[in-house]
Amino acid sequence: MKNILVLCTGNSCRSQIAHGYLNYFAYKKANVYSAGIDKHGVNPHAIVTMQEDGINIEAHTSNLIEEYKDIDFDYIISVCDHAKDHCPVDFSSKAVRIHQHFKDPSAVKGNSRQIHEAFEATRQGIKDFCRAFVKQYL
């Protein structure tokens, strides 16, 4: 089994969505973890948008990167530029590092429809990325 870490700034939206899809697409092929440089709690909009696509991340927790420093990861996937550039933990050099920046839907200001559309768009981009990642690497 491969160990995969998804890294973002606050471990609240993008990394949680990716964690959910990687668990789904890599079923029984990988242990998936997600973490942030900070922890902001799992965003309720992320939970709702994933439930709309049949993936339940309601039980996910927001975790700090330091919690996983002793795990030997095969892949570290950063889903935002800030996390890629400011990761405070030096992981094993064996880990393949992959970076794919996704827009932060929690940064969108507007009415509820606009916010929901931002989460849907980010969710779709992450879903496509995770499906392709599993197909290519697992």
pLDDT at 97 over 80: yes
Using a pLDDT cut of 90, give the percent of the chain over it.
88
User: Could you give the residue numbers annotated as active site?
Assistant: 8, 80, 87
Question: Domains in the chain, ordered, with CATH?
Answer: 2-137 (3.40.50.2300)
pLDDT at 75 over 70: yes
Choose among 70, 76, 94: nearest CA to 22.
76
Its pTM stands at 0.95
Distances (CA, A) of 35 to 38, 67, 109, 111, 131: 8, 8, 25, 29, 20
As a whole number, mean pLDDT of residues 55-74 equals 94
pLDDT at 93 over 80: no
As a whole number, mean pLDDT of residues 85-110 equals 87
